[in-house]
Amino acid sequence: MSTKQLLAEIERGINALQKARALCLKSGAATPKAKGTAAKTAKATKVPAQAQAKKAAKSRMSAEGRARIAAAQQKRWAKVRRAKKKAAKAALVVAAAR
């Protein structure tokens, strides 16, 4: 068997494995393309409608929503800092009384 024939046989094997992988995954994602003739013969698979719907349905948080969450978090941390400061002042009063 010559080198060209051997390489052609390897290319056919790679194509067969890529097709089998795509069928097993059933994800609709395109298989990675190999160099040479395999890239020319590989067919791109279509993305299923369900995958497109899930991708389109992804929600994004609005700037207003982020601002509300940030304000609430700042308020919570301010409460923690006030309590900490109050506890420190109480500790100083107790220490000064001794």
- Residue 37 has what pLDDT? 54
In the predicted model, residues of the chain with pLDDT beneath 70 are 27-57
- Residue 55 has what pLDDT? 67
- Residue 54 has what pLDDT? 64
Q: pTM for this one?
A: 0.36
User: Which tokens is 96 given?
Assistant: 């000064």
- Residue 68 has what pLDDT? 97
User: Which tokens is 17 given?
Assistant: 């494995």
Q: Is 97 helix (H, G, I), strand (E, B) or coil?
A: helix
